[in-house]
Structure 1
């Protein structure tokens, strides 16, 4: 049993929706009950989409059955990126449900609820759905009032048109960029190549077929999973390499020499060029201080939040922020929509390269030099016990998890909201020191868990 599907009066929703393993804890019966719970909370027609996972049809059908049993008509958008569903919900003022486990391995799937403004629902709304689930307060409609399914085939086209409206298409087309894109067999297998073609790019694709087993590579767009893409970039004549996660709300970039660009650096680069003095930029405590330095240089104000795209998005809305996002390639561009959006992010990057007439490696080199190391370790003991031990004698920030502040850097340790692991981030202006801190605290956590366990 996985950690994040907990019955009765406890949480169902993690950092990004409900996650689990189909026919283990994410069962058909569970998904139907969740569908009925969502149905009792939302109103009107409900838009539904899914990524390419093998279990997508089964989980989607189960959730849809619950929604229709509570009287909701379904607008089935098929396989598409999560931000494409969110764009459809925003434009049509509809609630939505996305069946995806994003970057998780292929055996996982999940259920994400989208609000009528296109954002992921807030925690108070999740709590209401959890309470309905727990109490079983379902109102089944009469047979003649059950919902029906209507299929819509142009949601991706609407989404692409929305993205194109926010960049200078003519300028990008003039550059005739040569782009190598790895969609990872995920939800953007058709949409991102189509978008790039509309931007006048010469497109070469990797893994641009829907394979729910992710047999070509892991869905998480990390350097160790993108070796083929990086090798082709190093040996080919490409301007930019692009890789998505499973549901394409994130994107990472590879430069023309085959070098992986960390998500915090691509976010900082976009902040530097698309935010202005007096603007507000929102990012979690896990993001690099590169972004802080960039904001200081342009006169923008930075707000740090807990980790989680919905938290960042809501904070952006509350403060009227234009741009924000996370260090994992999840950029939120408020002029388009308040959610992580891989297609919007890659379009902004191409727009920047076109208007600057410079290579992405040259643009990245101008950013303040920070080095961020990431690790993860299985969590085997209660987080509260571990946190108390880790903070002893340290200067800490407890916005999310525990951020240990050093004179020459920082270390953030926090429990994942989607997996039973601890995520460890370490940053310094010295690469060796960042690696030292990361390794040191992973070892310390391992020792503490053995002691406390």
Structure 2
């Protein structure tokens, strides 16, 4: 199956360019036709084009005879939790970590998971053939508001952690919500957990003027500087729709998503249980699973793929190297607030500093860079394979090359027209050198 509109996480584009109001309506009609449900829950992040895309999609949904239950500005996982608990499909208007000029449309299944590729393919066929359900005026859907989603979501998270111990610890927390969808929910959750909090960029701003919405070290310097004062136990940052969460330790050091996932896995997994993670993740996860006598399953990149594999294998935890953790006991999707709460639970129960806990995780160094993708991936892939000769490779997702000193993963982004280059080694300089080496090879090709 070849998908034309859906990327790694939904449909994304620039409104009034490749994500027009007309196309958004077609997507809404197709999703309503596909789900054929009495009602669909909808939410959006803070982007300034959110109203435009939301209104186009919701009008289209109602034209198919389906009611729209609007939940307001919410993190994507909060909408997913609402869908799961109320057994209704959902549509999220978000472009996650992409720059503010982007927006997107993401379909949520009735179990709260992102729809799989087969369902995306069926929706694309409806879009291309314009075979939409269309009802007479008296059967058109209605538009309702529901303000219960925030409490439902936060109470669900609190039920899965040691509320008493976290409350007693009175953790000092600095949080940067990046002007995104978690501007209200994450500070509220931290307050209920009796944390002393300082917030950064905790106002809804669809232009992300506080910082770039992707929570990378270069975008989190204000939070890092606050953490360097030594007055806080942990720093927390989300992306635009808060399905991801990254951390800064008490000394102001950025914690790589691989390390935070490995740390949560170490204290969550039990012998015989399963962790699911994509091929882009660190070998530290394999080491942790080996220590815990747990099983690890490696998948293609993409949170929906990880989540589906977790469901199929009854896995407790899964996640990606970008701060996207999936906790199966809560829901099968990336959830920034749940990830945040699991880390606070760990700090409270172990009564240690986060830097101390991280010393228990096997140390690897990963370098992540990207280059513009000028040609079709198949062309690049074939040329790369020819250039690699007899080197050991894995073609599960992109091309993973095994060197004596580490590994390299080259794959096309599912959300942008770039090639992502991941390299990992137990030696930091080696990881950097490997990345530079393969960027040069790509540029020459």
Within the candidate set 166, 180, 196, 1:172 is matched to 166
Within the candidate set 31, 38, 50, 1:38 is matched to 31
**Alpha-carbon offset, residue 44 of structure 1:** 2.0
Superposition TM-score, scaled by structure 2 size = 0.98
- Separation in 2, partners of 1:36, 1:388: 38
Q: Does residue 434 of structure 1 match 2:421?
A: no
Within the candidate set 99, 104, 119, 2:98 is matched to 104
Within the candidate set 47, 55, 62, 1:68 is matched to 62
Query: Residue in 2 aligned with 1:354?
Result: 348
Within the candidate set 420, 424, 431, 2:421 is matched to 424
Query: Residue in 1 aligned with 2:21?
Result: 28
Aligned residue for 2:19, secondary structure, equals coil
Q: Does residue 151 of structure 1 match 2:145?
A: yes
Query: Residue in 2 aligned with 1:451?
Result: none
Aligned residue for 1:272, secondary structure, equals helix
Q: Does residue 280 of structure 1 match 2:274?
A: yes
Unaligned runs of 5+ in 1: 1-8, 449-453
Mapped contact 2:3–2:121 kept (Cα < 8 A): no
Mapped contact 2:75–2:241 kept (Cα < 8 A): yes
What do the CA deviations read for 1:111-166 (whole angstroms, capped 9, x no partner)? 00000000000111111111111111122101011011110112111100000000
- Separation in 1, partners of 2:133, 2:251: 59
Within the candidate set 294, 316, 319, 2:313 is matched to 319
Aligned residue for 2:175, secondary structure, equals strand
Query: Residue in 2 aligned with 1:242?
Result: 236
| Number of positions where the alignment pairs a residue of Structure 1 with one of Structure 2 | 440
Once the two structures are superposed, the pairs formed by residues 8-407 of structure 1 within 5 Å of their partners are 11-42=4-35, 43-391=37-385, 392-393=388-389, 394-407=391-404
Judged with a 3 Å threshold, the aligned counterparts in structure 2 of structure 1 residues 231 and 85 are, in CA distance, closer, same or farther, namely same
**Alpha-carbon offset, residue 12 of structure 1:** 1.2
Runs of 4 or more above 4 Å deviation: none
What do the CA deviations read for 1:335-385 (whole angstroms, capped 9, x no partner)? 000000000001000001111100001111111010011001110012112
Aligned residue for 1:235, secondary structure, equals coil
Unaligned runs of 5+ in 2: none
**Alpha-carbon offset, residue 39 of structure 1:** 1.1
What do the CA deviations read for 1:40-78 (whole angstroms, capped 9, x no partner)? 101221000000000000000000011000000010001
Aligned residue for 1:332, secondary structure, equals strand
Q: Aligned-residue CA RMSD in angstroms? A: 0.8
**Alpha-carbon offset, residue 187 of structure 1:** 0.1
Mapped contact 2:112–2:332 kept (Cα < 8 A): yes
**Alpha-carbon offset, residue 10 of structure 1:** 5.4
